[in-house]
Amino acid sequence: MSQNNNKPVVTRIAPSPTGDPHVGTAYMSLFDYIYAKQQGGKFILRIEDTDQKRYNPESEKRVIDALKWLGLSPDESPEIGGPNAPYRQTERLELYQKYAQQLLDSGHAYRAFETPEELEQIREDLQKRGLGQGYDGRAKALSKEESEQRAASGEAFVIRLATPGEGETIIKDALRGEVRIPNSEVPDAVLMKSDGIPTYHLAVVVDDHVMGVTHAVRGEEWLPTAPVHVLLYKAFGWEEPIWIHMPLLKNADGKKLSKRRDDASLDSYKKQGIVPEALLNYLATMGWSMPDGREFFSLKDMTKFFSFERISLGGSVFDMKRLRHYNAHYLRDVLDLETVAERAKPYLKSAGYDWGDEDYLLDVVDVLLPRIETLAELAEQSDYFFNDDFSYSEDAKRRLEAGQKHLEALERELSRLDFFDYDDVDDAMREYVKSESVKMGEVMMPLRAALTGTTQAPGVTDLAVILGKAKTLERIGRAISYLEAGLPDDKPQKPKKEEDAGANT
């Protein structure tokens, strides 16, 4: 990367506040952030709100919050301000007006007065004749006088880029070298809309220049329109940033991840119990790899070893299964138990659970951790730890039936224990199994069913110890009275999702 190397690195993410915070935004932000940090530069968050039709007032905050959640904190943003304020494009309109006028004066742009209907007609004609662009540039022929006069008379107009029409424009992309696009393919793009608000094309170029952005990192989807931006830099006589068009995140069909079709919302991942560290790590491996091949690494390590040279251009399929694998790893092996428990709280709370003391919560999380991949699953599978009214699954009922006499015996054996630590309980149960000469499972399964209402749960001894002596005996008693009351009709309460509560749903 040869140009701009004398200036401090400035990167930016410029989301448009139009809906759910998109994972693609996080993906680009990650590389913006990492590179800026590595180079001792700045990472700017700018709000690209020039589309008033799709503007969504809540969206801005959600994007900012999502970035905050991820820990990709910008050095400048509408929220924290900075030397380049304001950071919302609708608050910078005079700036664009000024530069649009400059382009008009220098002949690099022209006014066009066609109505939307006329444009539609032009587009149709062009299409019929097999010509690519949506506009034929006819307004370029207008005389300066006519243009000024019609504008002054209040007629609506847009300002369009006057493209060369011949030759080619070269985009020096840092990842793929020189990309040459024939100027005949470059449209006279609208720079300034009739409402006086700029389009992305003008706004991004002006802001990137004014804010000193040195590296324009963005999705590959922008490559086809990059000539418009290059032409604009040339028209202004400004030095271009280093263009870095990143590969796209794709869905399972290989198509660009879209918020309409796909689950691409950061809020959604959060809600599913994905932890930000895991998301970031996963995202980092999409198109980039650590030099030593490690797949788990922190932001800090990534910052140390990152280079754009190791970006692969294929475009990666966003695989929820793999994300979950990363998440599980972070939950189990990276974050400490206290942290996981702390982060699990909102999920438990919204499931309606109440944990008495912290130690109990810690025990529950600890024993469930190998069985879950997300925090949401933790909440889903922990019902019997927080709810005494759990019901018995069909399979559990069968186990209960088959083991009634063991339950009765165990109730006696366990109630005799003075201490209820792991070894005490374990010894007692093993002794019982031995004395009865039965298989472990024959005893353990009914007990498990009694304690949890399911047949798929942590080790019975763990369960008993965590629940404590009183609760353990209570639940055994409850199971016995349930059996005595007659199995077929005694349907327990709490009908919802009990059939496989505790199973891996």
Partner RNA sequence: GGCCCCUUCGACUAGCGGUUAGGUCACCACCCUUUCAAGGUGGCGGCACGAGUUCGAAUCUCGUAGGGGUCACCA
Interacting residue with RNA among 190, 211, 348, 479 (CB under 7 A): 190
Give the CA-trace dihedral at 438, 439, 442, 443, to 10 degrees. 70
Beta carbons of 247 and 276 less than 8 angstroms apart: no
- Would you say 451 or 473 has its CB closer to RNA? 451
User: Which residues are within 8 A (CB) of 494 and not within 5 positions of it... i.e. 6 or more apart?
Assistant: 387, 389, 390, 391
- Would you say 209 or 371 has its CB closer to RNA? 371
SS3 state of residue 246: strand
Q: Report the distance separating Cα 135 and Cα 113, nearest Å.
A: 12
Sequence length of the chain is 505
CB 333 to RNA: min, Å = 8
Site for RNA in 270-289 (CB under 7 A): 285-287, 289
Q: Which stretch binds RNA (CB under 7 A): 47-55, 67-75, 235-243, 265-273?
A: 47-55
Site for RNA in 7-26 (CB under 7 A): 14, 16
Site for RNA in 317-376 (CB under 7 A): 317, 319, 321-322, 325, 332, 370-371
CB 500 to RNA: min, Å = 10
User: Which residues are within 8 A (CB) of 294 and not within 5 positions of it... i.e. 6 or more apart?
Assistant: 301
Give yes or no for residue 87 binding RNA (CB under 7 A): no
**How many helices and strands, by DSSP H and E, does the chain display?**
21, 11
Give yes or no for residue 262 binding RNA (CB under 7 A): no
Give yes or no for residue 250 binding RNA (CB under 7 A): yes
Token pair belonging to 273: 């119990």
- Would you say 44 or 179 has its CB closer to RNA? 179
Give yes or no for residue 438 binding RNA (CB under 7 A): no
Beta carbons of 362 and 337 less than 8 angstroms apart: yes
Interacting residue with RNA among 42, 92, 140, 448 (CB under 7 A): 448
- Would you say 235 or 249 has its CB closer to RNA? 249
Angle between helices 200-210 and 226-236 (to 10 degrees): 50
> Is residue 259 flagged as an active site residue?
yes
Interacting residue with RNA among 1, 4, 19, 51 (CB under 7 A): 51
Q: Which residue has the tokens 């968050």?
A: 45
Token pair belonging to 134: 């949506």
Beta carbons of 375 and 388 less than 8 angstroms apart: no
- Would you say 40 or 57 has its CB closer to RNA? 57
Site for RNA in 130-189 (CB under 7 A): 130, 132-135, 156, 158, 176, 179-182, 185, 187
CB 191 to RNA: min, Å = 9
Site for RNA in 52-71 (CB under 7 A): 53-54
Consecutive H or E run containing 214: none
- Cis status of the peptide bond prior to 74, with omega within 30 of 0: no
- Would you say 352 or 459 has its CB closer to RNA? 459
CB 489 to RNA: min, Å = 27
Of 68, 259, 271, 471, the active-site residue reads 259
Q: Report the distance separating Cα 93 and Cα 430, nearest Å.
A: 78
CB 462 to RNA: min, Å = 7
Site for RNA in 477-496 (CB under 7 A): none
- Would you say 123 or 150 has its CB closer to RNA? 123
**What single string gives the DSSP state of each residue in 322-368?**
HHHHHHHHIIIIIS-HHHHHHHHHHHHHHTT---SSHHHHHHHHHHH
Q: Report the distance separating Cα 29 and Cα 437, nearest Å.
A: 63
Site for RNA in 456-475 (CB under 7 A): 456-462
CA angle at 242 for the pair 298 and 179, rounded to the nearest 5°: 115
Interacting residue with RNA among 65, 79, 408, 426 (CB under 7 A): 426
Site for RNA in 219-248 (CB under 7 A): 220-225, 247-248
Active site residues: 259
